Structure 1
Amino acid sequence: MDMSKSTMTFTPKNLTLWAGLSLGLMLPLTALADRTVSYTYTVHGQVETIDGPRVDVTDVTSYGYDENGNRNSITNALNQTTQITAHDASGRPLTIVSPNGLTTTRSYDLRGRMIQQTVSDGTTSRTTDYDYDAVGNLIQVTLPDGNSISYDYDAAHRLTGLEDQLGNRIDYTLDDMGNRLSEQVSDPTGTLNRTKQQVYDQLSQLDQSIDSENHTTDFDYDPSGNLTRTLDANLNPTAQTYDPLNRLSQTTDAKNGITQYSYDTQDNLTQVTDPTGLVTSYEYDALGNLISLTSPDTGVTTYTYDEAGNRLTQIDARNVTTSYSYDALNRLTNIIYPDTSLNISYTYDQGTHGIGLLTQMSDAEGTTDYQYNAFGELTQVTRISQDGVTTSFTYGYNPQGQLISQSYPSGHSVLYSYAQGQLTGLSLERPDGTTQSLVNQIQRLPFGPINAMAFGNGLQLSRTFDQDYQLIAQTLSGVLNDSYGHDPVGNITSWQDLIQTSRDQSFDYDELDRLTDAIGAYGDLDYSYDAIGNRLNLTEDGVSESYNYASDSHRLEEILGVTTDTRQYDAAGNTISSLLGSYTYDDHNRLVGFTKTGTTASYGYNGKGERVRKTVNGTITRFRFGPSGALLGEYDQSGQAIQEYVYLEGQPVAQLQGIAPVQVAYLHTDHLGAVVKATDGAGSVVWDSDRRPFGERAVTVAQVEMQLGFPGQYFDEETGSYYNYFRDYDPTTGRYLQSDPIGLEGGLNTYSYVLNNPLRWADPTGEAVPLVWWGASGIATVVVGWGASNAWQDSSDWDGILPDGTFPDSAADDRPDCPPENDDDDCEKEMKVCHRKCADNCTGMGYGSSANACYRRCVRTCLPGHCAENY
């Protein structure tokens, strides 16, 4: 038997068969569906090559070693090599050279702990230092930008606190088992800014979570450690039951709505029955790839895959077939539609420093080129439209890697200022070199949100947060003076305008935290819902309208009120007609046309799913987006700037109008990050509106144009709806015009907006679980969903999201089964993939706990044999 070769085959029922191992056994490989990875070894038993499962390309990763057995090279399937050119006497890597030529050097102390890492492009170096105490605890990390974190430990070497370079601290109190009983955040003066408490039972299971106001959430578990009941701070219970294999089988919400789950023998979720009795079902092949999805809203969708688990085809309920192709590293390279004019191609590895990065994207609307520096940071994005109009954005960084400039197609630039590693201000640089401040004197709470800053027109913003970091008040130099009240779970119950008290608002919610009553300048609005969150009635000052739905789906069919609005859908669940007009869609379910009397509109999208063009009655407007998906500018047919936008940590702070001389409107946002007012250079209000809870607005001051709505939304006058990245939102109904492209990942109701709680949540992409802004529930701009990216260096690596908001490598509910790329960290990547899968499968079971059998069993069966042996 050849000891230099072995084969690992993934077979059905979570079995892994090995052939050619030193056990002397030759196992027959299954004749059923399998995924085979072959290995060769050096004479010393070290992995020499890994041949991936694909047969259409050569997907071999090779490893080289020096005479001491140290790995000195890794070459991927595209012949891109990472070199480890030096090791210490213990075999630890000292110098690593990436395929792009970036050099990483590491140094270690006598105990083998890394004490310094320097990354250099030959001109600029970025060094991170690590310090340890006498017993080996990491006590400080100093980053290249000067930021540092110091760590404290108790006598048992457990982390008890940390402190940044400014003196801000987080202190932890632990019980005997190491569970964190309390967390306190304080500033350099010792003032307590944020606090939370937790109580654990004798099995170290979380028993209670207590906020700063002593509002308590309780948790109960069964003997297997599965979470069986949650009682929130409003005393609303959620119950969960499990099957004999500890898989979640039923949830009962606080209004007794029951959701049921079924699984196959490989623990794949096969059926979800929602509280209204409608069923979503899933079918898998023997390797766990989702091959059929049957939804009451989007119909039947089928999928096929290659040997590596990459999705090859998708056929939706309209019988539209979409095909996908991949390179040898399993990166998506082409999307082919029946309408070939919509085809998309993605090119990688081109140009200077481009290896491993997306460098070009071609789509129906044009071509986008991406350029990077040696550190992989995005430096330029150039968009060339099909008609030849070119727009470019450039990005500059300081030696520490912090963004210091962003230039726009208009020739204007935004400059970023820092002090002690912290962002302190933004300024505008005009094409003639003159500058003016946009935002300065930025202050923030310890490890938390911005609580004060000055705008370039002199207006001072002050924000007050409670000790849960919920926004409770904000003032802006006589322009804004708002206060917010919250219930024990974080729902906003009051919004007071202390300047115009006639605009005060109050809100009520049901047991599922859905908005049921709103009182404000707009009148008294009452909402009711069915068990899954479909709006049944809206009563406005005593006048009611009712909503009727299809019996076999969640599609809104009719609104009966002063007028009757009848709606129709295509087979994939897209709205094709309403009282307002008619809608048309392309092969990837994106809205591309709208018509009504006197209006004809068309829309075009790029390969990232961003709407880059709209044409209304012959007038073209072009849109350009930034690395994180935020709208950066609107341009006319010739590419001249109409409006450009400036953001601070994801929230708009300025709007630049025109070219020369540019007029600056300063933008002021609410607790969600939505613009509520705009002021000019003199501090006068130039835009204002009265907004109803679900986003309908009545503009009261309109000296400038302002189309931004809730985070990620842009108002289209012609349709009355908001473009919301991957979908279109209708504020009159609180629903999207299309079903959620990520299916049930975003909730059981695939049409409703943010769980019918628009005062607390926002959805910036139209396909993610709601986003929480600072102030809504004390959590900072966290997108819980797929495809969100706030990192500049990751900005153009589009996270695998297709232009319709879905995923090419696997379907939404099957996405974690995509295999990682083969490299020296393959087990680490496999673990990340399996964690995501098992976290989904074991949701609600306390899967992070070491006591949870479901999670452990899932991970062990998910991991390949060579990775599972140490788990």
Structure 2
Amino acid sequence: MRRFIYGCFALLLFTAIALADERPNKEGDPPPGLEPPPPPWEGTCPFDPPGCPVPDPGDGGEPPGGGGSCGPEGVYPLYAPSAGDPVNLAAGVEAYRPADDLVVYNPYGPRVVWRRHYYSSLAILGQSSPGLPRGWVHTYDITLQRAGNNPNTWNLTLVYPYGAAEPLQAELNAQGQPTGMLTPPSGSPYFVRGVPSATPYVWQSVTITWRDQTQWTFVPVDGYVYVLSAITNRVGRSITFTWDAQRRLLQVTEAGSGMVLLSLTYNAQNLLANVTDAYGRQVSYGYSMPANLSVLCLTWVSQVVAAGTPNPPNRYSYGYVAYATDKPLLSSITVPSPTGIGIATSTLQYRNGRVVARVDANGNRTEYQYDLAAQQTTVVVKNSLGNEVYKWTQKYSASRRNTGTIDAGGNHVTIEYNDPANPGRPTRIVERDGKQTTYTYDAYGNVLTVTNPRGITTTYTYDYTAFPLGRLVRVQEGNMPPTTYTYYEPSGLVQSVTSPKPGSVNGETVTTSYTYDALGNVLTVTAPGNNATPVMVTTYNYTQDGSYTQPAKVGQPLTVTDSLGNVTRYRYDARGNRVQVTDANGNTTDFSYNIADQLVLVQYPATGQQGSGRARTQNVYLYPGGPLRQVLEYDESGTQIRQVSYTYGAEGHLVQRTGSTEVVSYVYDATYRVVQVRDGKGNATSFSYNQRGDLVQITYPGGDSVQFAYDAAGRVVQRRDGRGIVTNYVYNDPEGLLTGIEYPAYPALNVSFTYDSEGRRASMTDAVGVTTYSYDHVGNPLSVSVTYAGLPTRVITYSYHADGSRATMSTPAGTYSYTYDGAGRLVGLNALGWSASWTYAPNGWLLTQTLNGASTTYEYNARGFLTRLTNRDVGGNVLSDFQNLRYDGVGNRTQMTVSFPATPSLGGVTNFSYDTKNQLLQEQSTRVGGYTFHFAYDPAQNPTQFKGQSRTYNVNNQLIGAGFGYDGNGNPVLYKGVNLSFDPENRMTAYGNILTAGYNGDGLRAWKQTASGRRYYLYDGEELVCELDAAGNAVAGVVFGANGLLVYGTTGYQFDPQGNAVHLMDADGLVLAHLAYDAWGQRMSGNNPTPYGYKAQWGYYTDGETGVLLLTHRYLDPATGRFLTRDPIGFEGGVNLYAYTRNRPVMLRDSRGTFAWVPAICAA
């Protein structure tokens, strides 16, 4: 709810590009990858069935270390693999962890992850994993070693690949013989059991069991060293390891089937030459002897290629400098340049064996300044010109634990470790503003309590009877009812989760339960039901789909059946990638992948509209495993119709997106924060940061700017906008939540918030009145009470079914009752004297909607595009029939044929055409006497031709000319010759002397005043639900259902395929009006006395007095096809801050005035 309070603060979301994690690791602690996976209730199941709390059975075979990454979509930067790398700031060690070389799908158990790391500390010591050169390790190189090389001890030391070690103390009986138990350091998240051999002081095998029940089993290679022989997941499925006499890894095998998942070969110098997986994929390794060194070093690693490919291209190349004698320090990392031309190289500089600087491929320099006496390291980032742009300091303890940070403003984060039984786990974290969170643990490092700054303690309870490390059986936050868990033994798979019942405040509960197959795949999820059924069961079948059968495989359900028996079907390739999905209607989509498992092709179900083939999307990558370079779209005739291209900088940062899309380019600073965004015309918006990394100014192309100030915690405390208006933000809350918004120049507009003991909003006091809130035990609202100034309090209340779906809503206008089918889809709604119902296809597509007997039917092609929409009155007579809806290959509607039996002039054929950016170029229709509208756009998506009129725009993409003028925030204070007024949050408060308006603290319009009087508005979330008159009496209720708007006041609605109102009717089904609108919202025929017309189905609210439409948070002018003001969520909604639906009004909607999207086929 608060996102719109900040207005352009949302730009922080767009520009917040974080630095790589450079926190120190404690020597002796496992690296991040060795921390056990998330507890079972936080994991995922195949295809993420709702609420499923079970880990993917493919996990458990992961070696320690980091993983890969992916980038977001939209206008956000996309990242390719970078040449950069992390540095351990406590030790000054170069800890280079590239992306996994190979991840191998195991159909029957833990997957294999081939991962290698480089540590400069190991290179200095001359150490490595066997088969790799100095400094390099692979993450299966985990060993147990006899403690202190003492030949007469049962004690062992667990040694991690990077050299950290943990002692394991053998428990002896009275005769001095081992009991089989070995004790790890206090607080370790694992336990150890061994089987003594007949040879004194030699174990036959030793098994380490982790908190997620993954087991590492070790066997001796001699009396002193034990190697990893198996990794076993919680359901007993194992991968086994084969080593040679030199302790080089030779094979990883699936234990049950004997399938060789990974094979390793070595060259004549006994160094790793190739790794090859079970699917014929291979990565090769090359070595040479750099200058000033007389030892071989790893100098290149190939891309993933088919086994046997000669001269495979490089994915990585490495350079080294010598430290002392033959100690190779990694000094350069080279990757294929994400620019597509040549290579990109980052370099490292050392002093006395410590990394002191890193220079990336763009010449940006990160310096590391070590203060050993103070136990802290300062990180300074400079651009290629040597200018300092960012600075912070890492603190650490003598044992190299992370003890906090200091930002460039001198503000500290402090981390304390005060539990002797868990010396490596923080017990108190004090943030920069002094707010603290405390933690306690059990003997195995399980969190027992977390106390937040509000003083609320969340308690975690464990059962140790079935599993020594404990099963989490209860979680309780403060005085809230607990959530409890039961498990299957001995696997520890979650059997049930019992949590507070939605809508309840008296301790009632609901339970979700799970069953599994022998591989740990979910077989059934039994979830709480609704009015239609006490429970909803989703079933997964892994072995049979009709005549097709296969052995059960990890994460490969062949069918998923919902509680009504509707079946979705899936197929997979040998590597476990999903290659086919057939929905419950029988529509099939196919997927293809490259050798690196990147999606390269999507083939859609055939519709026959553009040809006899299938439309498809093709992704083009720089190389397998590399960055996405192009997205190509083909229609069903095989013709390429769209192309989007991505251009990257040398560090893999997106610098430009071009082609069949909204063109945008980015400029970055040395920390890869966005400092400039350019639209398709080159108009630049700039972002400035302080040395702490806070965004301090946004400057728009025309020079208008917004400035921000921050407190010690990094929260915005002041905004000075382009008009010079100051807004202050107050955080007088124990957890630092926003408690006040103050406008010194407009104190009557101040907003304040209070919160309950759980940190949920309890009240909001704003310029229009007071709103209070109450909640159930899972956070669902139970009541919202609104007291507008001078009016009686009006209350909206809610109740819920057991599955959390809404059962009732009571408003001043009346009560709403909701019913659902067994799959959780809304099928019935009774409200305000109206009754609505819906039916669905097996795949969930909406088929019919009925309102007080008047009906609408929907038909679709195989891709889910609407092909026919028919509206009928209560007698079954056709009111309007929109048929022969046709589309291009990317889903733009190109034609529809319309018939209106009662009003033939509203019938006819409408054709739409588009440019390659999907912008509407022409709307030509024979309806309402016939019309043709033409449109043209500049490179920034401004409509320069709009229905035959020429338009001009300034560098801010604002419509200019006679009768237009803008303030420093981009608001049109003069619009078509009319004076407009705006409040400090850029919300329109006056449209000449025609309309005035006020808004609540969430930015929703609370009232409007016109010549007809004043109307007040109540909301269900952000959806209008009730209008009140000047005395506070309900004068119009608003009903939304499964597919949008149904009723306003005494008027019911039916719609066209765009969502425009076409028929108005009363509760008895009497048709009151027939309407027609063009694509942009001009009413072409009929009179509409209600505020819902253009895209009324999606909640667009027309102010008839002004002709502009309120889309929740912004006003749209259908006569210009533009929003009046900048997007309150900034560039998150697109680069042109005034553009509406990216000029795709036929297909896209923007109900909130922030972000355009395609309406769902079924919004149940």
Q: Could you say which residue in structure 1 is the equivalent of 2:675? A: 270
> SS of the counterpart of 1:158?
coil
C-alpha distance in 2, partners of 1:25/1:62?
16
Give per-residue Cα distances to partners, 1:366-419, cap 9 Å, x unaligned. Answer: 111111122322111111011133221111123443311111113x11111234
Please give the TM-score of this superposition, normalised by the length of structure 2.
0.60
Does residue 538 of structure 1 match 2:946? yes
Task: Find 1:329's aligned residue among 726, 735, 746.
Answer: 735
1:738 matched to 2:1125: yes
Which residue is 2:1073 aligned to? Answer: 687
Superposed displacement of residue 604, structure 1: 0.5
Q: Is the 8 A contact 1:416 1:423 kept in 2?
A: no
Partner of 2:817: 415
Deviations 1:806-834 (Å, cap 9, x if unpaired)?
xxxxxxxxxxxxxxxxxxxxxxxxxxxxx
Change over 3 Å in CA distance of 1:26–1:701 after alignment to 2: closer
Matched, 1:72 2:448: yes
**CA 650–625 in structure 1, closer or farther in 2 if over 3 Å, else same:** farther
2:1157 partner amino acid: L
Q: Which residue of the other structure, out of 892, 901, 905, is the alignment partner of 1:491?
A: 892
1:557 to 956, 960, 964: 960
- Counterpart of 1:311 in structure 2 is 716
Report if the CA contact (8 A) 1:9-1:34 is conserved.
no
Q: Which residue pairs with 2:516 in the alignment?
A: 132
What secondary structure does 1:236 align onto?
strand
CA shift, 1:577, in A, is 1.1
- Native 8 Å contact 2:1077 2:1094 kept in 1: no
Distance 1:185 1:24 in 2: 51
Aligned to 1:641: 1034
Residues 643 and 497 of structure 1: CA distance in aligned 2, closer, same or farther (over 3 Å): same
- What amino acid does structure 1 have at the position aligned with 2:1009? T
Matches of 1:24 and 1:643, distance apart in 2: 62
Aligned residues: 733
> Given the superposition, is the C-alpha separation of residues 298 and 535 from structure 1 closer, same or farther in structure 2, using an over 3 Å criterion?
farther
1:53 alignment partner in structure 2: 431
Maintained 8 Å contact 2:541/2:560: yes
Q: Evaluate the alpha carbon distance shift between residue 423 and residue 276 of structure 1 in structure 2; reply closer, same or farther with a 3 A threshold.
A: closer
> In structure 1, what residue type is equivalent to 2:513?
D
In the TM superposition, residue 607 of structure 1 has moved relative to its aligned partner by: 0.9
Q: Report what 1:774 is aligned to.
A: 1160
Q: How does 1:672-683 map to 2 (within 5 A)?
A: 672-683=1058-1069
Deviation of residue 347 (structure 1)?
1.2
Are the equivalent residues in 2 in contact too, given 1:634–1:643 (CA < 8 A)? yes
1:217 aligns with 2:595: no
Q: Tell me if the contact between 1:406 and 1:415 (Cα under 8 Å) persists in the aligned partners.
A: yes
Q: TM-score, normalised by structure 1?
A: 0.79
Contact 2:687 2:698 in 1 (8 A): yes
Contact 1:644 1:655 in 2 (8 A): yes
1:360 equivalent among 733, 757, 763: 763
- Among 95, 102, 126, the residue aligned to 2:481: 102
User: The residue matched to 2:417 in structure 1 has which SS?
Assistant: strand
Change (3 A) 1:547 1:264: same
> Aligned pair in 2 of structure 1 residues 88, 209: CA closer, same or farther (>3 Å)?
same
Instruction: Summarize the Cα distance change of 1:745–1:10 in structure 2 as closer, same or farther, 3 Å threshold.
Output: farther
Correspondences of 1:445-456 after superposition (within 5 Å): 445-456=841-852
Match of 1:382 among 777, 785, 796: 785
CA–CA distance in 1 between the matches of 2:991 and 2:401?
68
Show the counterpart of 1:402: 805
Match of 2:869 in 1: 474
Tell me the SS of whatever aligns to 2:1131: helix
What SS class does the counterpart of residue 341 from structure 1 fall into? helix
Q: Using the alignment, how far apart are the partners of 1:28 and 1:465 within structure 2? A: 57
Query: Equivalent residues in 2 for 1:137-152 (5 A)?
Result: 137-145=521-529, 146-152=535-541
Cα deviation, residue 25, structure 1:
11
**Which whole-Å CA distance do the structure 2 matches of 1:228 and 1:533 have between them?**
23
Letter in 2 for 1:229: Q
- Going from structure 1 to structure 2, the CA distance change for 1:688 and 1:35 (only over 3 Å counts) comes to farther
CA distance, structure 2, for counterparts of residue 41 and residue 650 of structure 1: 56
The 3 A distance-change label for structure 1 pair 184 and 28 is closer
Establish whether residue 280 from structure 1 lines up as the match of residue 685 from structure 2: yes
Structure 2 residue 974 is matched with structure 1 residue 577: yes
Equivalent-residue separation in structure 1 for 2:598 and 2:1142 (angstroms): 28
- Quote the residue 2:133 is aligned against: none
Identity across the alignment (%): 26
- 1:124/1:30 CA distance change after superposition, 3 Å: closer
Q: Which moved more, 1:465-474 or 1:583-592?
A: 465-474
CA distance in 2, matches of 1:743, 1:29: 30
Q: Residue in 2 aligned with 1:428?
A: 830
Residue of structure 1 in register with 2:231 after alignment: none
Change (3 A) 1:124 1:674: farther
Say whether the 8 Å CA contact 1:206–1:219 is kept in structure 2. Answer: yes
Question: Structure 1 residues 682 and 122 mapped into 2: Cα distance closer, same or farther (>3 Å)?
Answer: closer
Q: Please tell me whether the aligned partners of residues 840 and 846 of structure 2 are also in contact (alpha carbons under 8 angstroms).
A: yes
Residue in 1 aligned with 2:582?
A: 184
Alignment partner, residue 561 of structure 1: none
Q: Is 1:44 aligned to 2:421, yes or no?
A: yes
* Counterpart contact for 1:151–1:162, Cα < 8 Å: yes
Closer, same or farther: CA 95–631 of 1 in aligned 2, 3 Å: same
Which amino acid in the other structure matches residue 176 of structure 1?
A
Greater Cα shift, 465-474 or 363-372: 465-474
Q: Aligned runs of 1:168-207 on 2, under 5 Å?
A: 168-186=566-584, 191-192=585-586, 194-207=587-600
Is the 1:594–1:601 Cα contact (8 Å) retained in structure 2? Answer: yes
Give CA deviations for 1:62-114 in whole Å, capped at 9, x if unaligned.
22346776533221101112223453433222122222422211101111111
Cα distance, 1:519–1:124 mapped onto 2, change above 3 Å: same
Tell me the CA shift for residue 21 of structure 1.
4.4
The residue identity in structure 2 corresponding to 1:718 is: E
One-letter identity of the residue aligned with 1:280: T
Separation of aligned partners in 1, 2:510 and 2:459: 19
- In the aligned structure 2, how far is the partner of 1:507 from the partner of 1:8? 64
**C-alpha separation between the residues in 2 aligned to 1:22 and 1:745?**
43
- Alpha-carbon distance in 1 for matches of 2:780, 2:1134: 35
Residue pair 2:393, 2:406 contacting (<8 A) in 1 also: no
Aligned residue for 1:433? Answer: none
Letter of the 1:112 counterpart? G
Match for residue 835 of structure 2?
Answer: 438
Question: Deviations for 1:600-653, whole angstroms, at most 9, x for unmatched residues?
Answer: 4211001111001001137111111112x1111111101122211111136012
Q: 2:401 & 2:671 partners in 1: Cα distance?
A: 30
Separation of aligned partners in 2, 1:68 and 1:8: 30
Larger radius of gyration: 2
Aligned to 1:656: 1049
* 2:1148/2:1158 contact within 8 Å kept: yes
1:682 deviates by 3.5
Name the structure 2 match of 1:594: 991
Amino acid of the structure 1 residue aligned with 2:1144 = N
Distance in 1 (alpha carbons) for counterparts of 2:487 and 2:663: 56
CA distance in 2: counterparts of 1:260 and 1:239, whole angstroms? 12
Question: Following the alignment from structure 1 to structure 2, what is the Cα–Cα distance between the partners of residues 445 and 298?
Answer: 54
1:242 counterpart residue number? 648
Q: Give the structure, 1 or 2, with the largest relative contact order (CA under 8 Å, sep 6 or more).
A: 1
**Aligned: 1:113 with 2:113:** no
Q: Is 1:158–2:555 an aligned residue pair? A: yes
Residues 495-552 of structure 1, C-alpha deviations (whole Å, 9 max, x = no match): 221334634321110111000100123611001111111111134xxxx3211122x3
Inter-CA distance 7–368: structure 2 relative to 1 (3 Å threshold): farther
